[in-house]
Amino acid sequence: MQYLKDLQTLCSINSYTKNKKGVDSVAQQMRQWLEPLGFETKIFPRESIGDHYLFQSKKRDGDKILLLGHNDTVFPDGDFETFNEDEQWVYGPGVCDMKGGNIVALEALKEVFAKNAAIYNIDFFLVSDEESGSDDSKALTLSLAQDYDYCFVYEAAGANLEVVTGRKGVGTYTITITGKASHAGVRYSEGINANLEASYKLQELTKLTNLDLGTTVNVGKIAGGIGANTISPKCELLLEIRYMSEEERERLLEALAAITETSFVKGTSAVLSGLIQRDVMEPNSAQDRWIEKLERISGYKLPTEQRGGVSDANHVASCGVVTLDGLGPFGDGDHTVTERALKSSFTQRIDMMSKIFLYHQEKRSFHG
């Protein structure tokens, strides 16, 4: 299995998001494999993080497909850089998240090129900062997505080789509360306690959680005050929201604004800052029809699932592009030193994607 040796090559390069040299080395290795297949490379240079790479195929009439992956991993130098295997599993940084997924896409493209000597209308975009939130690549992904009809994202498959049709949206916000400092012993009544205000806001924010709808609001950090003998003049609440529908997103944003503007402790004021990092990816009927088509083409069942975690699939789906995620191998232990991927899932995914790509190259469209 040459592709496992290729996977080892990638996993042997430390590509922690902040390790620009390493992330760029992974991208260059992918370039060495993709350009012989006829892809042209467009590089989006970055100074402090890895460059983003778009590998572009030849173009003709027909459906345009975007393959989406990322080159970065979560392990700083020296944390986890080994690669090994046994009869069933491969172990190493990124074997499932998501150097393994990139290898699945690459191997399927090799199959197409071997049979057709050309590849049309399939582009491969690899970003460098997905593991840190895609703050830099987000705008680029949103812009590029407008040019495509369909998107395959190569994050890890589910335990039963599910593909992902939905992912929660996620936003991170800070509420900064201002009160008034005073001596807690001598002038207690002259103070305005920002920490006390934060306690009321914390309770109201927590009430927004609705597990039945998949909505969570988590105040993960509170920082305020000067010392035990001083009424707190300032406090900050750092919080995250996650949601599974646009309706819930709007409810949460309206509630965040209302809670911020409400002064539960007279004399306090507050400011809300933050943003939606990745908007919700909702299952839809266009996905359903596409999955049915892909099952007929490949001969494989494509069970589906929704996930609370996010990926760059959220970005592409928000542009109206029909998107499926979880096309990589199955694995577990991702983001830990026990990360592994199931060998048999590579076989299934590569065969499935090869059949889908070959059909697309011949028919040019998934309609009909």
- What is the predicted pLDDT for the residue at 25? 98
Which residues, including other chains, have CB under 8 Å from residue 191's CB and lie 6 or more apart? 179, 180, 181, 182, 183, 184, 230, 231, 232, 233
Q: What's the fold here for domain 2-167+280-363?
A: Aminopeptidase (3.40.630)
What SS3 class is residue 84?
Answer: strand
pTM to 2 decimal places: 0.92
What are the tens digits of pLDDT across the range 233-279?
999 999 999 999 999 999 999 999 999 999 999 999 999 999 999 99
CATH class in words for 169-278: alpha beta
Output the CA–CA distances (angstroms, integers) from residue 284 to 62, 211, 301, 304, 317, in the order listed: 22, 21, 18, 12, 10
Residue 93's pLDDT band (boundaries 50, 70, 90)? very high
pLDDT at 201 over 70: yes
Query: Cα(173)–Cα(44) distance, rounded to whole angstroms?
Result: 29
Identify whether the C-beta of residue 201 lies closer than 8 Å to the C-beta of residue 175.
yes
Identify whether the C-beta of residue 281 lies closer than 8 Å to the C-beta of residue 313.
yes
Which residues, including other chains, have CB under 8 Å from residue 212's CB and lie 6 or more apart? none
What are the tens digits of pLDDT across the range 17-52?
999 999 999 999 999 999 999 999 999 999 999 999
Question: How many Cβ atoms are within 10 Å of 105's Cβ, its own excluded?
Answer: 27
The CA-based diameter of the chain, rounded to the nearest angstrom, is: 85
Query: Cα(236)–Cα(259) distance, rounded to whole angstroms?
Result: 14
pLDDT at 112 over 70: yes
What are the extents of the domains in the chain? 2-167+280-363, 169-278
- What is the predicted pLDDT for the residue at 290? 97
Looking at this protein, which amino acid is placed at residue 289?
R
User: Smallest Cα–Cα separation from 3: which of 356, 314, 349?
Assistant: 349
Residue 367's pLDDT band (boundaries 50, 70, 90)? confident
Which residues, including other chains, have CB under 8 Å from residue 288's CB and lie 6 or more apart? none
Query: Cα(287)–Cα(367) distance, rounded to whole angstroms?
Result: 13
pLDDT at 97 over 70: yes
- What is the predicted pLDDT for the residue at 140? 98
Residue tagged 């083409």 (tokens): 297
- What is the predicted pLDDT for the residue at 1? 75
What SS3 class is residue 71?
Answer: coil
In which order are the strands placed within the sheet that holds 269-278? 216-224, 234-243, 169-178, 269-278
- The fraction of the chain above a pLDDT of 70, given in percent, is 100
What are the tens digits of pLDDT across the range 328-353?
999 999 999 999 999 999 999 999 99
pLDDT at 368 over 90: no
Output the CA–CA distances (angstroms, integers) from residue 60 to 68, 118, 215, 323, in the order listed: 21, 12, 43, 21
